[in-house]
Homo-oligomer: A and B are copies of this chain.
């Protein structure tokens, strides 16, 4: 029997068979009327997921490429920008804006807690000369399993003219993020998360306010230049050869998303969060975040006493065919993470908790075997009532 591995990492996620089937179909030309129809269709589908009427573009890159687009197109060297940083991906905004010569001010918060809207509000109020040009935030901080409160952060900006830029790579189509209602100027996401595709596509929306800033920017960019993308999109094509097979796969995965409906998707992910957290606690392990701050896409679990995280993830993968993730950045070796976003069902979660139990047993962790799965079962039965 071949390997039957399940991915319980915070992306790349498992891919639905309906999408896989399309990814295995013969190549198509990307400069044809038929393919332009596909680009139009998926762009409109993405706008519905984003809940936006803003322009939206598909880039052939992973999410970081779209993050670079969200810097290179909107920041001139010397511009004052603010980054809300409470994890590895907040740090990526810091690195990117710094690399592009911005005058970067960082509001750092503890890894494992939410970014602080009050701190942002105070800084914004102090900016009487409106020197801040852009504020960079992270929707779902994949590295810590924290969902930041984007609405509160945006509200803290009030009517300050700075543009508000969101990394929603692992949070889009997991937790609500109504782009227009919340007035989010630039929002980045990626194919390999809740869009249930392989990595290789990234998406970016641009508000009229952000376009006005973009017009003033002279920072060099070519592959990720959004003005070039906008020009090509007039004919629903892309300036450079797109990852055509992934775009066809996206068309199918967007259908799957529409069939389930965004509200149901949010609810399902919230339920997974509850189930995983409850089960992990039942095994005597400690969570990195509190319930309020916790992400519905990924759960971070603290390394306890004598548990070796690297060993744990290795046994899970090699012996039990369940791939989970370790820590990133300064949490490397300190936590492990279970992803539960995208094409994940309750059976995947049962298998994961069961594998975690057997792994913990092997590592000498003390608990009642079966306790984690039993907790999941109880929540499932309760959920059916």
Contact = CB atoms under 8 A, between A and B. Distances in A.
A363 B25 CA distance: 32
A223 interface: yes
Given A64-B240, A100-B220, 4 more contacts: A23-B24, A64-B223, A198-B244, A198-B245
Nearest to A19: B24
The A contact surface, by secondary structure, is loop
Of the candidates A15, A29, A190, the one having the most CB atoms from chain B within 10 angstroms of its own CB is A29
Given A243-B198, A244-B198, A246-B198, A222 B27 contact: no
Interface in A4-23: 5, 7, 9, 11-15, 20-21, 23
Interface of A: 5, 7, 9, 11-15, 20-21, 23-32, 60-65, 67-68, 71-72, 95-96, 99-101, 190, 192, 198-200, 219-224, 239-246, 317, 323, 325
Contact of A61 (B100, B223, B239): B223
A171 to B, nearest CB: 16
Given A20-B25, A62-B60, A199-B60, A68 B223 contact: yes
A100 B221 CA distance: 8
Contacts of A68: 222-223
9 contacts: A5-B26, A15-B27, A60-B60, A60-B200, A62-B241, A63-B240, A72-B220, A198-B243, A200-B246
A5 B34 CA distance: 12
Contacts of A63: 240-241
A351 to B, nearest CB: 15
Q: How many copies does the complex hold?
A: 2
A199 B243 contact: yes
B27 A198 contact: yes
Given A12-B27, A100-B220, A62 B245 contact: no
Given A101-B220, A222-B64, A14 B31 contact: no
Contacts of A71: 222
Contact of A15 (B26, B64, B200, B221): B26
